[in-house]
A and B are shown apart, each in its own frame.
Chain A
Amino acid sequence: MTPVIDTTMMLLILSNMALLGLSRLRSCIAVASFQGMLLGLFTVFAHMQALTLRILLIAATSFILKGFVFPRLLRRSIREASTQNEMEPYVGYSMSVMAGMGMLGAALWLGSKLPLNPAAGMDFVVPTGLTTFFTGLFLIVARKNALTQCLGYIILENGIYAIGVISVVEIPALVELGILLDAFVAVLVMGVAIYHINREFDHIDTDQLDTLKG
């Protein structure tokens, strides 16, 4: 399975770079949706030799939630907020991709330091997961649009999920599903919050949410 896993990880990294370089929100959501489906498949690939009903259930839930439900919620928010592009970001797109390269380097270094001892053929999963985690964090910090920040949270959660799939196999399905449900509710709540912010302010530019200081 090594080539399949490695290819999946390469695609994940490329999707991260695309997220950092794209300005159109719909394109970003499409990439995040692709990443979600990829992670669902990866869950199955990673446990192909000992596939259980628990793994299949988690993989299917993840595939549907991250691949279809989250993007649908975000697209609805785009329609309601009538916004298409990221506003002037704090960090430009070219610089963001450069930062993405830096994050990949940092993730490779950190991954080598963490003794997670992944199974054979999974060596690249931890650095990829960490890169995805950092990418999500970067999108939250460096973008002004509330929708992109919400997207950043999903990407960040994707990174943790990828690491969790290979490093922890003992967590019961109920807990994992609870965690996925929490992520779902978080995205839902953020979507509702964006709707209210847009109604109150006529924009979703978080840079302008600056009344409360000190």
Chain B
Amino acid sequence: MHYEIVLWLALLVPFVIGLICTILPSVRIALGAMCCCVFGTCVAGLAVIWHVFQHGAVFTVSNWLFLDGLSAYHYLVMLLIYCLSSAYAWVYFGEELRQGHFTRRQARLFSGLWCESFAAMSLVLFSNNLGVMWVGLEATTLITAFLICIHVSRESMEAMWKYIVICSVGIAFAFMGTLLVAASARGIVSQDALLWTILRDNAARLDPKLMKAAFIFLLVGYGTKAGLAPMHSWLPDAHSKAPAPVSAIFSGFMLNAALYCIMRYIPITESATGGTGWALHLLTGFGLLSIVVAAVFILFQKDLKRLLAYHSVEHLGIIALGLGLGGLGTFAALFHTLNHSLCKSLSFFAAGRLGQMFGSYDMEKMAGSFRASPLWGAGIFGSILALIGIAPFALFMSELQLVKAAVDSSSMAALILFLVGSGVVFVGALQHAIPLAWGRPKGMLKPLRFTALEALIVVIPLALLLVLGMWMPESLSAALKNASGIVQSTLPAEVVVFSGYTP
């Protein structure tokens, strides 16, 4: 099988179907075409991911496009989130259609932009050329901007404007960083100065001063898109005002795509600066700041989707912290990426359906959601429990590995800040979650009936989080080790083993 062709197809098929979606005759056909596109691409994508995990990287177009262990792992997460979110979009907009709030024009726009964003995020992951990777990420910003305001309102327009301006400026910073990386290779790499594989092979010879300047620009730029504090101000607005399926892909994968771009520069910067841990210290700082800032804001939230958005800031901070700690921390960070994406998309799914039922995202008005809908009430409560790191969910395991990494590297200050931040989040989120699930409803509620598809959308992520919290398949463990080995120059020194759990 020619896996290079699969890479091409994974880019072109969503791109073409996205264009076709804009002219389809009905809401259901447009949404159906979108779902077929995502699930069809997923089948082909899984084949190439499996090949990469078994036999190594696939290259094509003069090495401009590739899929190695790190990008294949992220692509796997992306496919999982897009499949779940597409199925959920079918349910979510089906309800809006029934209520007369979703028109054919909106369906065409939504499904078209959804497929295009799928293609753009795939381009980010497939790019070996760092310039093309930048183009892909900027494209995701521009494409997804209008997904926020599918339902035009004053709030959604405001959120969209903040998103475009802040993220575009952030991405411009990343562009400056990309140019500085290319400039640091001047005279060393004669051609293909932006190919990641070539830069990585020559990283020790790059100009350290320029690489430091470049990494600062890249971290601030891509960090803005990843929602790291203090550049996160667009995130709560965009996440809370976008329709729930969009919030799910924003939080479930788009933020990770931006962090993935930063991951690509870690080994290059570390090698160029003599392996002093300079880049890792910066990442640790941003990670800790994100955890602390999110913890403070989580305490005072009233809006459910804003609460979940601040959880995204916290968890992206945890991933950045893991990357900054290195060693087992990198392994934990990558594992946390999968766990957070699954959990956060589920929480936005549940928030969206409950929001449709209550007509509001105000947590006081949404009290007693278990009674209103046992399925989605369990979804929101279970996902919040998982988000705050309760055992035996997988997020508990990845956070425990992160604690072990901090102890191993004697980063006591980081460990204390992480534990304090997580403790505050734990208390703050529980204080919101208990009344949300078990509180006395504000009015008479007619229990919401659910379909088998809805049950699957809730059960699959929760089951995966539970299983991964107790047992990690050998193939996933190997994939994670391979991916973390790419982020750092060596494989993690040791992997923590708890009884009955072998990562």
Residues of A within 8 A of B (CB): 113-117, 133, 137, 140, 146, 149, 153, 156-157, 160, 163-164, 167-172, 175-176, 178-179, 181-182, 185-186, 189-190, 192-193, 196-197, 200-201, 206, 209-212, 214
B370 — which chain A residues lie within 8 A by C-beta? Answer: none
- Residues B149 and A196 in contact, CB atoms below 8 Å apart: yes
- Residues B158 and A190 in contact, CB atoms below 8 Å apart: no
Q: How far is the CA of A189 from the CA of B186 in the complex (A)?
A: 34
* Candidates B138, B158, B172, B190; contact of A212 at CB < 8 Å: B158
Q: How far is the CA of A213 from the CA of B442 in the complex (A)?
A: 25
- Residues A193 and B161 in contact, CB atoms below 8 Å apart: yes
Q: 18 A-B residue contacts at CB 8 Å?
A: A114-B210, A117-B186, A163-B179, A167-B179, A170-B193, A170-B194, A171-B194, A175-B131, A175-B135, A182-B139, A189-B164, A190-B165, A192-B146, A193-B157, A193-B164, A206-B161, A209-B158, A209-B162
A140 — which chain B residues lie within 8 A by C-beta? Answer: 165, 169
Per the CB 8 Å criterion, the residue count for chain B at the interface is: 53
- Residues A214 and B179 in contact, CB atoms below 8 Å apart: no
Scan residues 348-367 of chain B and give those whose CB is less than 8 A from a CB of chain A: none
A178 — which chain B residues lie within 8 A by C-beta? Answer: 131-132, 135
- Given A114-B210, A175-B129, do A168 and B179 touch, yes or no (CB 8 Å)? yes
Scan residues 304-333 of chain B and give those whose CB is less than 8 A from a CB of chain A: 306
- Residues A179 and B183 in contact, CB atoms below 8 Å apart: no
B162 — which chain A residues lie within 8 A by C-beta? Answer: 209, 212
B108 — which chain A residues lie within 8 A by C-beta? Answer: none
Q: How far is the CA of A181 from the CA of B142 in the complex (A)?
A: 12
- Give the 7 A-B residue pairs with the shortest CB-CB distance, closest first: A175-B131, A170-B193, A167-B183, A209-B158, A212-B237, A168-B182, A178-B135
| Other A-B pairs, 9, CB within 8 Å; known A176-B131, A201-B157, A212-B162 | A114-B210, A115-B209, A182-B135, A182-B138, A190-B165, A193-B161, A200-B154, A212-B236, A214-B297
- Residues A168 and B183 in contact, CB atoms below 8 Å apart: yes
B452 beta carbon closer than 8 Å to chain A: no
* Candidates A113, A137, A170, A206; contact of B169 at CB < 8 Å: A137
* Candidates A164, A170, A172; contact of B190 at CB < 8 Å: A170
- Residues B172 and A193 in contact, CB atoms below 8 Å apart: no
B202 beta carbon closer than 8 Å to chain A: no
A197 — which chain B residues lie within 8 A by C-beta? Answer: 157, 161
- Residues A175 and B132 in contact, CB atoms below 8 Å apart: yes
